[in-house]
């Protein structure tokens, strides 16, 4: 089909480009860099809508140099319309690790008022089972609007703690991904992001910091790393367009403080593009990170992984 032909044509061009960084001894060294598939949503859909044939795309991403993927299309027990075990097999056949997934389930007004989250937790039990079958290491809630009250925010913190506990029982880590609005105050009293960090259990909830949205929120990623060490197991590495394009995000300082943050993995996300060919944007982003001397080959608990 048309999408597959476009991806295949781009893959042919990418094959001619080296995607590995040369080490001092002349051997090729791959860096651990995942990509959020929301970056290519026009090709494979997102959050259960317009799923496409993802297999040619996975091959292309692997040839670019990406080592893992973060999904963004879970619905009704399937990932991008596929059985979770099949999705895992397809990703691994392309040479990619199935690392993580973004999934949303908001509380109802009744659940917030009562503190009884059982209805939403049933959904999460099914979601966790599917992602366990897919071999996911992380499950991430990608968005929560600014609650109108601290009571509502506390309800979500309690909810996240319970979701995280259920994930942990299944060998999965649960996290929350920020945008810029989390750096606003709730009821004019508490910065939403800080409140969430203080009122969630570090054993059950980590934070996938989106470094670009943090900067847009007039906050410093490094300051947060130092204030809440060890809480940021995964980072979304992002810029206003292609990574490194704007000059507004201090990527060198971010990576220099990755150990303090507790970083285990990084995920590239590109939401806006400078080109009609979005795969060019995805390729330029990994090229920047591959060439950057401050980006290590791996992180934290992933340091002993063979590549």
The string of pLDDT tens digits covering residues 113-138 is 999 999 999 999 999 999 999 999 99
Helix or strand (DSSP H, E) at 302? none
Please compute, for residue 92, the number of CA atoms within 13 A of its CA located in the half-sphere on the CB side. 9
Percent of the chain with pLDDT over 70: 89
Contact criterion met (CB below 8 Å) for 130 and 75:
no
pLDDT value at 13 more than 60: no
Phi-psi region of 27 (alpha: psi -120 to 50; beta: other; left: phi over 0): beta
Write down the residue that tokens 């999408």 correspond to: 3
Cα torsion angle, 289, 291, 296, 299, sign: positive
Model confidence at 52, pLDDT cuts 50, 70, 90, reads confident
Which pTM was predicted?
0.89
Please report the pLDDT score of residue 301 as a whole number: 58
Q: Convert the pLDDT of each residue in 249-258 to its tens digit.
A: 999 999 999 9
Of 158, 242, 153, 221, nearest to 189 by C-alpha is: 153
Q: Convert the pLDDT of each residue in 190-246 to its tens digit.
A: 999 999 999 999 999 999 999 999 999 999 999 999 999 999 999 999 999 999 999
How many angstroms separate the CA atoms of 264 and 230, rounded?
10
Contact criterion met (CB below 8 Å) for 239 and 246:
yes
Model confidence at 17, pLDDT cuts 50, 70, 90, reads very low
Percent of the chain with pLDDT over 90: 85
Q: In sequence order, what are the residues at sequence separation of 6 or more whose Cβ sits closer than 8 angstroms to the Cβ of residue 77?
A: 84, 126, 130
Helix ranges (DSSP H) in 170-245: 192-199, 211-216, 221-227
What is the number of helices (H) and of strands (E) in the chain? 13, 14
Bridge partners, 74 (sequence order): 79
Computed on alpha carbons and rounded to an integer, the radius of gyration of the chain in Å comes to 19
Give the tokens for residue 265.
């993995």
pLDDT value at 28 more than 60: no
Q: Residue 50: phi, psi to the nearest 5?
A: 50, 50
In degrees, to the nearest 5, what angle opens at C-alpha 102 toward C-alphas 201 and 127?
A: 80
Model confidence at 49, pLDDT cuts 50, 70, 90, reads confident
Please report the pLDDT score of residue 153 as a whole number: 98
The mean pLDDT of 90-102, rounded to a whole number, is: 98
Please report the pLDDT score of residue 300 as a whole number: 74
Bridge partners, 265 (sequence order): 234
Give the tokens for residue 96.
């990619």
Output DSSP code: residue 49. B
How many angstroms separate the CA atoms of 57 and 9, rounded?
11
């Amino acid at each position: 089909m048309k999408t597959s032909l476009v991806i295949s044509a781009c893959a042919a061009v990418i094959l001619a480009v080296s995607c590995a960084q040369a080490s001092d001894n002349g051997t090729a060294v791959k860096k651990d860099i995942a990509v959020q598939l929301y970056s290519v949503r026009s090709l494979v859909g997102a959050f259960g809508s317009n799923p496409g044939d993802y297999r040619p795309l996975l091959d292309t991403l692997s040839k670019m140099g990406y080592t893992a993927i973060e999904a963004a299309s879970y619905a009704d027990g399937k990932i991008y319309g596929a059985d979770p075990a099949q999705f895992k097999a397809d990703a691994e056949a392309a040479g990619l690790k199935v690392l993580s997934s973004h999934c949303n389930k908001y509380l109802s007004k009744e659940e917030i008022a009562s503190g009884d989250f059982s209805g939403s937790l049933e959904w999460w039990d099914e979601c966790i089972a599917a992602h366990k079958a897919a071999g996911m290491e992380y499950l991430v809630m990608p968005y929560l609007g600014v609650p109108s009250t601290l009571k509502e925010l506390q309800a979500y913190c309690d909810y996240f703690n319970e979701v995280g506990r259920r994930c942990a029982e299944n060998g999965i880590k649960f996290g929350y991904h920020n945008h810029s609005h989390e750096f606003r105050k709730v009821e004019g009293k508490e910065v939403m992001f800080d409140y969430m960090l203080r009122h969630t259990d570090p054993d059950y909830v980590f934070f996938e910091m989106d470094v670009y949205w943090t900067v847009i929120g007039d906050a410093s990623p490094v300051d947060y790393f130092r204030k809440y060490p060890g809480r940021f197991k995964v980072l979304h590495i992002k810029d206003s367009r292609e990574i490194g394009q704007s000059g507004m995000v201090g990527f060198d300082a971010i990576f220099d403080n990755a150990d303090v943050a507790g970083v285990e993995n990084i995920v590239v996300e590109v939401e806006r593009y400078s080109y009609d060919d979005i795969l060019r944007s995805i390729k330029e982003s990994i090229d920047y990170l591959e060439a950057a001397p401050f980006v290590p080959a791996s992180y934290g608990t992933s340091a002993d992984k063979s590549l």
